[in-house]
Copies of this chain bind each other. A is one copy, B any other.
């Protein structure tokens, strides 16, 4: 590493060592994007005020996990899915990557006055169908209505209750040098599908959202690797890059990603090149990142590839000891660059 690179890394580390503070005078779209601004909002304002260590998925009591998510995706329907199944899969997946088998969901709706009954019925049916596929029951809900224009059709909040699986103990601070980094499938599809569905770009590519439940994948990983499965995360807002940054930081290790090993479908590669975005920052709604001890990595990857929807799973990198807290990418041409947390909001209201 050159002296200049070394200095840049030291600066990043110094900045990161400071406790985050929320200094913005008001909320911006970037606070919802899952990157640096979201992190500052959560760690600098919400978590301290609520007396939480972090505002992430939370195991609560007696082996149960409870997690919540609001969905404000725009448009409501897009190739491959809609807000209804996104709301089910998103929350089911938050449970799954906590190592909890999903048991029950609640569904809370904020509806816009004037929303057509057909649209509402379509989404409720989508919720029911997705819950069925995910093997989870919707056990209760709530409905509120706001005036025309005060919402975009509907906002949906789901909360999931799950039971922690005893085969593993997933922990974001458990990453160790040598651990292998797996992803469960093609990355970047959800974000690109939404971008194209908005029609803001003149691209003819056919990309479908990857929205799907991930408990089967986590189940397979737990079965194959047991306690050697260190941690799992679904790569939603902020993409794979944000997951790697978050966990490298939590465990005080580095993550080294081989760019050429990341599975990406050709239309997504093409769309990202034209749009000038890095697919590793693009949101997924059915892709997880798993960290596995080296001795179990091969078996875990094979098990993952046997899960329907995870045929393209791949090992994309390895955990290193240095530099702690950073994510480095080895480019196809043999270069190396730091892949930091997402800054700003390239794509608002992705989920």
Interface residues of A (CB under 8 A from B): 22, 24-33, 38, 41-42, 45-46, 49-52, 55-58, 60-61, 64, 66-72, 103-104, 106-117, 120-121, 124-125, 127-128, 131, 138-147, 149-152, 155, 157, 159, 161, 348-349, 351
Contacts and interface: CB of A to CB of B under 8 A. Distances in A.
A166 to B, nearest CB: 16
Q: Which of A57, A109, A110, A159 counts the most B-chain CB atoms under 10 A from its CB?
A: A159
B141 A55 contact: yes
23 contacts: A25-B116, A26-B116, A27-B111, A27-B113, A28-B145, A29-B145, A41-B143, A50-B131, A51-B128, A55-B141, A55-B143, A61-B103, A61-B104, A66-B106, A67-B106, A68-B106, A68-B141, A70-B143, A70-B157, A144-B155, A144-B351, A149-B149, A150-B150
Contact of A72 (B69, B70, B110): B110
B24 A55 contact: no
Chain A's interface: helix, strand, loop or mixed, by majority?
Answer: mixed
Contacts of A56: 140
Contacts of A107: 50, 68
B157 A68 contact: yes
Contact of A349 (B41, B111, B142, B146): B146
A117 B50 contact: no
A52 B124 contact: no
A135 to B, nearest CB: 13
A99 B26 CA distance: 40
B159 A70 contact: no
Given A114-B26, A128-B49, A152 B146 contact: yes
A210 to B, nearest CB: 20
B114 A66 contact: no
A106 B159 contact: yes
A58 B42 CA distance: 30
